[in-house]
Amino acid sequence: MKSGYLLALLCLLPTLASADIYKSVNADGHITYSNTPSRGSKRISESPPRPPVSHTRSAGSPADFPKVNQETQKGRDQTRRKILEDELNNEQGLLTEAKQNLKVAQADPKLAKDARKMNQLSAQVELHQRNIDALNTEISRVK
């Protein structure tokens, strides 16, 4: 039974730094620990004072922070746009293929009855469409 109390105390240890702890003993001798005072309880620890919270914004990058010149950044942006456009072309090809596979399956009476297969093919079409939408969003963000 004492191990249960020990476990309860161990569970309270992380809160010791941020809350007052009170100990109370009932008429049967059961010990209860709590973060709220109750009749007959005794405080066994106090919360440490909390430091004031500062809401100041940082001044920005330090003066010695490395900077990229405009030409280097343009080159990086062009490379990123090229990679995204290549991925977009790839996804568009995969979407076309997935739509064709779905159309073939819908035309085949045996495959059309297989709900699991049809769901997989539809999920592939949706996946490629979501990827295309995401790539278009990213391309629109490139300067």
**How many Cβ atoms from other residues are within 10 Å of residue 140's Cβ?**
8
Whether 62 maps to a domain, the answer reads no
Q: How far apart are CA 132 and CA 5, in angstroms?
A: 57
Element (H, E) at 128: helix 115-141
Whether 78 maps to a domain, the answer reads yes
Residues 86 and 137 in one domain: yes
Q: What percent of the chain has pLDDT over 90?
A: 41
Residues 83 and 29 in one domain: no
Whether 54 maps to a domain, the answer reads no
Whether 58 maps to a domain, the answer reads no
Residues 35 and 79 in one domain: no
Residue 68 has pLDDT above 80, yes or no: yes
How high is the mean pLDDT of the chain? 83
Residues 81 and 124 in one domain: yes
Whether 121 maps to a domain, the answer reads yes
Structural domains in the chain (count): 2
Whether 99 maps to a domain, the answer reads yes
Whether 52 maps to a domain, the answer reads no
Residues 30 and 75 in one domain: no
**How many Cβ atoms from other residues are within 10 Å of residue 15's Cβ?**
13
Identify which of 91, 90, 70 has the alpha carbon closest to the alpha carbon of residue 143.
70
Structure tokens at 70: 């405009």
Convert the pLDDT of each residue in 19-28 to its tens digit: 688 888 888 8
Q: How far apart are CA 105 and CA 46, in angstroms?
A: 70
Are the CB atoms for 124 and 91 separated by under 8 Å? Answer: no
Residues 85 and 119 in one domain: yes
Cα separations in angstroms, 77 against 7, 85, 89, 90, 130: 56, 12, 18, 20, 23
Domain that holds residue 124: 70-141
For the CA atoms of 97, 100, 101, 106, the dihedral, rounded to the nearest 10 degrees, stands at 160
Residue 60 has pLDDT above 60, yes or no: yes
Higher pLDDT, 20 or 48: 20
Flag whether the pTM goes above 0.75.
no
The amino acid at residue 11 is C
